[in-house]
Each structure stands twice: as structure tokens, then as C-alpha cells.
Amino acid sequence: MDDGSDLRQELEERDAEIERLRALLVARDVEIGEERGRRLELESYVLRLMSFIRLARLAVTRPVYVLRKLRGRWSGERG
Amino acid sequence: MADAPRFSVITPVYNTPADVFWAMVSSMRRQGFEDWELCLVDDCSPSPHVAALLDEAEGTDPRVRVARRAENGGIVAASNDAVAMARGEFLALLDHDDELHPDALLLVDRALREEPEADYAYTDEDKIDRAGRHSGPFFKPDWSPERMRTQMYSCHLSVFRRSLVEEVGGFDPEFEGSQDWDLVLRATERARAVVHVPRVLYHWRMLEGSTSGADEAAKPWAFTAGTRAVQAHLDRIGMPARCTHDPEDRGVYHLDPELTDEPLVSIVIPTAGQVREVRYEPVVLISHCLRSIVETSTYENYELVVVTDTPADPALLEELREIGGERLRLVEYDKPFSYSDKINTGAAAARGEHLLLLNDDIEVATPNWIERMVMYSGMEGIGAVGGRLLLQDGRLQHVGVRFQNGLPGHPYWGFRGDFRGYANAARIATNCLAVTAACLMTRRELFEQLNGLSDRFPVNYNDVDYCLRLWRAGKRSVYDPDLKMIHFESSSRSSAVEEWEKRLLMEIWLPFTDPDPYSNPQLRHELPRPSSKFSWMPRRPRLLRRRLKGQPA
């Protein structure tokens, strides 16, 4: 009987430990998620900046096209 | 000027510094459109220089008209006096320290002529400092009634048909501080049409003590007045909700449901009985989903319609019966896989007034989620309601669907869970062309009228297509930021959408989705393009603008 209850207690302790470690992992996932989210936000900012740089470069070779595009966008043209 | 002008610009004046006053008056005199009058009402300014400023302004241009109040009455009283002296067909609101873009009245006039039924118009805006430097542009969506209830987004420049303002009784002193918001809400309840001019045509001056400045505590009463104005509006339109303002950001407001009755809601969940690892533990998704609904929801009157593939595992069915109890109805589906057909089969077996389409990889995180959805779904103009879906690691998955070049996407996908979005777009209730069917409520009556989800889109885009059909039928889709759910979607995004699905969607819906009316030309994936920083610049040189004088009245 004693052996049985010891075993049960050991199993319960192990289960509790597994639960604790799982909760830690989940919490760590959320922390990592926050960092990944921040990274994506930065990436999106960089991508927008790069597209602007591309547009600025294009302004040198095809100024009329760029002017028309920007004028259209700034005048509220959709699409 | 004997004839009534097209625009009366309403400007209450109080202790205005001379430099910003002249900047305001000059911005009016620079207008390319000439048929206006500027109605200045001095609210008994104690500073002696104001009287001289007004005299001088009146003398420099016959279109500038001045009235003086005998006693200080506050901005509402002064604004109402200005409305009373106005003769124009439309009233434009301009604060005494702000400026209009030279093309402002010209472009608003053009928009109003294109939509003759328009009773209210608004434009994009930015901020300007005392030295005239521009910053913080606000690129707005087209008319979004649900957004208007949680954020005073139309703000400047606002232009009302004068007859409508008179009909609703002008500005209400009860909402001093948020009198503009109250007026917009009352006017748009009756307006035949609302137009948006997607151009920065108003420059809001950042001065100490102004709500445009960084210190939002400068006018705390404005935010409580805002709450009261929205509440009064909700009561008028019969929306069962209570308005509160956000303790973290007082420009953001929230609606909480106050339902008077609980109609039956049918939660339709298609499932294949899949097992997936959730928080490092393998779970049967449908069991997990049902358990979270039963254990978390505070709404009483709902049924669970689970559509299972046949043959289903008897042990699973038994487990579902145990979790769902009397609420559960099992519907068998024995045809080849079609998400649309599976949902339609479930909906046909449902008895509820509202259908709540739910994926089985969803976990409920908001106890009053059903109440929130019913609060919106019960409103006449609303067709579909969706919520804020988060990935397992807390990042954003869905905050409403937006279209870019005619194709739908999830703005801010993968961004931090507390990411506010552009102009708080992820934190306020707002309209969008579509919401995801991973969690979507719609009235059954509408679902049946539209013959449910289309079998032309058996796997992807059936939700988008359904919401667009609602849109075409005059029903809006709403995103509710306070309805949070966990979506155990794969956190590494893989596009399973086929080319033919994209082509078909564009073939049917491109004229409606490009441009997306709930976005703005200056935004890409709902974030400002870097080039938008220059969007306030005048489009034409001054000489050319002069040629536009003499517009038809």
C-alpha cells in the first residue's frame, strides 16, 4: 500500500512539474511572440521605406511617371 | 454679397493670438473657391487685441462677417450664434487657430456636386505647429458609422448642409467639449448621404491646452462629454449598448452590450475531428472549442450545431455530447469536402435568430462574446460581425479584412497583440468590407436571403464573398476589438489560396473592392506610405489656383 501511495505521489509531483514547465513554455512563447511581432512591425516599416527609396530612384530615370503617380495618390485617387 | 454663398465657414473666436488668427484668415482668403463667407463670432474675449483683429479682418474682405457676444457663453453658444448668422448652403467648421488647405472648399464643393444628396462631408487632416510645420496626418476611411461610435474620426474638416443643422437644432450645450461629435452623430442619423474627400485639407494647430496637442489631459471634460454624446446617440438609435472611454487612451471609446433580450443564437461549427498540439498538449480541436464556449460564455440562449464528417468517431461524439449537453445538435456531413456546403448544411439545421459561424480551432477568450456580437448583429444596417483573433502566442491574426489591389488580406497579421494599428484602427470598432468566418455572426434571415455561403468558393474566400454580397445588399460588416478569441491557426503563414480563387474573386468583386472604401489611398496594408508625408502640399501653383476663381454658386 505504501509503495502504491508513494508511486501515486511521485506521479502527481511529476504531473505538477510537467504542468509548471508547460506553463513556462507557453509564457515564453508569448514573450517570443511579442518580439516576433515587433520584428514584423519593423520589417513592415523597412519595406515601406524601401518602396519609397525605389520610387525616389525611379524619379531620376522616369520623373514624369513618378510625378503622375504621386500626384494621383496625393489627390486622393484610389487604387 | 447679396446672394447666399455656397459655404459659410463657422469660426468662434476667443482670445486668439494675433499670428494664428491671421494665419486662419489668410488660409480662407487663399481659397481657390471664392463663394464663401467667414462668420466670426467673438465670445467676449477679455484680450483687448481681439476686437482690433476682428475690425481689421472685417475691413480687409467683404466676405468676412463679424458678430460680438455681449457675454461669454462658451464655444457652443458662440458656434450657434455663428450658425444663426450664416447664409450659406453648407456650413464648414473652422477653429480660430487652425488653417484650411487652399483647395479645401474647392474639393469639398466638387465632392458635394458629385453626390447631390450629401448632407455631410469630411476630409483628411493633419497637425500644424505655430511655425507652420506639418505632422501627424490622419488618413481616414470613407463613412464608417460603427467607427464613428468609438472614435470621433471625421472631425476636421466637417461640412454640413445648413438646413440639416437647423433641423437637428444646432450645437447642444449639454455636450460642450465634444459638441462637434454630438452634432455629427445627430446629423448623420438623418443625413441622406455622407461623402469623404480623401485629401489633407485641414491643418489642426497644436497649441498648449488644445486637444490636438500631445497632452490629452488638457481638456478632460471633452472626453466625458464624448462618452455622453455617444451614449445619447446609442439611445436614440436603439442600440443596446453602453459607451465608456478608454482609460489608456481617451480618444478611444468602447461599447459594452446591454441587451434587453437574448434571442437564440446558433453556433455552427464544422469539424473533421482533427487533433492538434495546443499549448504543448495534443487536443481534439472541436472538444477544446466546445469546452471553451460552455465554460466561458455568459450568454444563456444558444445552441451548438456541430457538423461532423461521416463516419465520425463514436467516442468523439460521446465526448461532444458530454460537453455540449442539451445545447448540442450533431449534423452529419457525408459529401466531399466543401467548407461552404458544410456551413450551409449546419445553418439549415439551426433554429436561432442569429448564426454564429465558428472554426473548431478557436478558443473563446471574452466571456460576453456572444452578447457583443448580438449587440451589433441585431442592428438593421449590419450584416456581419467579427472579432479580434489572436494567434496562440498572443500576436494579431484578424482585425477585419482589408483589400489591396482587389485582394483581401489581414492587416497587422503577426504584429504584437497590443498593436494599436494606424490611428487606433485595431482598438476601435470599425467597418470593413469583410470579416473572417473563423468567427462571424450574421442574422439567419440575411443568410437565407443570400442563399448562404457560395459553392463557387468551396474552400477559401467564401466568407469574403458572403460579406461582399451583404455589402451589395446594403449591409455593413463590423470588426469589434473587444471581442477577443484565440485562433490556433498555424503561426507560420502559408498561403493555401489557389490562383483560380483569386481570379474568380477579382472577376466578381473588383469594382467593389478596389479601392477599399474603408482604407485610404495614402495607406498600404493599413499603414501610411512614406510619400504620404507630403500629401498636404498644394496641388497647383498659386497662379493656376487663381484661374479657378468664379466657381458657380
Give tens-digit pLDDT for B22-58.
999 999 999 999 999 999 999 989 998 999 999 999 9
Enter the C-alpha cell of residue B120: 455631410
What are the residue ranges of helices labelled H in B384-488? 444-449, 462-472
CB contact under 8 A, B417 and A37: yes
- More confident: A79 or B465: B465
Does B334 map to a domain? yes
Residue B539 pLDDT > 60:
no
- Assess whether B299 and B417 both reside in one domain: yes
CB contact under 8 A, A22 and B281: yes
Question: How many residue contacts between A and B have a Cβ separation below 8 Å?
Answer: 90
| Of B201, B221, B241, the domain-final residue | B221
CA distance B418 to chain A (A): 9
Q: Does B417 touch chain A (CB under 8 A)?
A: yes
Query: Of how many residues is chain A composed?
Result: 79
pLDDT at res. B542 = 42
- CATH code for the domain in which residue B189 is found: 3.90.550.10
Does B252 map to a domain? no
CB count, 10 Å around CB of B283?
17
- Assess whether B153 and B206 both reside in one domain: yes
Does B235 map to a domain? no
pLDDT single digits (tens) B334-363: 988 899 999 999 999 999 999 999 999 999
Task: Closest CB to B515: pick one of A44, A48, A79.
Answer: A79
Does B256 map to a domain? no
Q: Residue B460 — φ and ψ, nearest 5°?
A: -110, 160
pLDDT single digits (tens) B127-171: 998 888 888 899 999 999 999 999 999 989 999 999 999 999 999
Minimal Cα distance from A24: which residue of B?
A: B279
CB contact under 8 A, A78 and B198: yes
Does B416 map to a domain? yes
- Assess whether B418 and B489 both reside in one domain: yes
Does B544 map to a domain? no
Cβ atoms of residues B116 and B400 within 8 Å? no
pLDDT level of residue A77 (50, 70, 90 thresholds)? low
Q: Which domain holds residue B327?
A: 265-527
CA distance B377 to chain A (A): 30
Q: Does B486 touch chain A (CB under 8 A)?
A: no
pLDDT at res. B551 = 31
| Of B186, B221, B256, the domain-final residue | B221
- Assess whether B202 and B341 both reside in one domain: no
Cβ atoms of residues B162 and B88 within 8 Å? yes
Enter the C-alpha cell of residue A23: 506553463
Helices and strands (H and E) in chain A: how many: 2, 0
| Of B221, B250, B285, the domain-final residue | B221
- Assess whether B317 and B378 both reside in one domain: yes
Residue B188 pLDDT > 80:
yes
- Assess whether B147 and B285 both reside in one domain: no
Does B465 map to a domain? yes
d(CA B90, CA B118): 11
- CATH code for the domain in which residue B460 is found: 3.90.550.60
Cβ atoms of residues B399 and B467 within 8 Å? no
Task: Closest CB to B521: pick one of A22, A45, A73.
Answer: A73
pLDDT at res. B471 = 96
Residue B331 pLDDT > 80:
yes
Q: Does B394 touch chain A (CB under 8 A)?
A: yes
Enter the C-alpha cell of residue B488: 490556433
- Assess whether B91 and B177 both reside in one domain: yes
User: Into how many domains does chain B fold?
Assistant: 2
Give contacts of A25 with chain B, Cβ < 8 Å: 279-280
- Assess whether B12 and B90 both reside in one domain: yes
- Assess whether B192 and B336 both reside in one domain: no
ipTM > 0.90, yes or no: no
- Assess whether B211 and B63 both reside in one domain: yes
pLDDT at res. B2 = 53
- Assess whether B295 and B199 both reside in one domain: no
- Assess whether B206 and B296 both reside in one domain: no
Q: Does B279 touch chain A (CB under 8 A)?
A: yes
**Model pTM score:** 0.90
Task: Closest CB to A41: pick one of B281, B419, B530.
Answer: B419
CA distance A18 to chain B (A): 10
- More confident: A58 or B508: B508
CB count, 10 Å around CB of B551?
17
Cβ atoms of residues B91 and B8 within 8 Å? yes
Does B381 map to a domain? yes
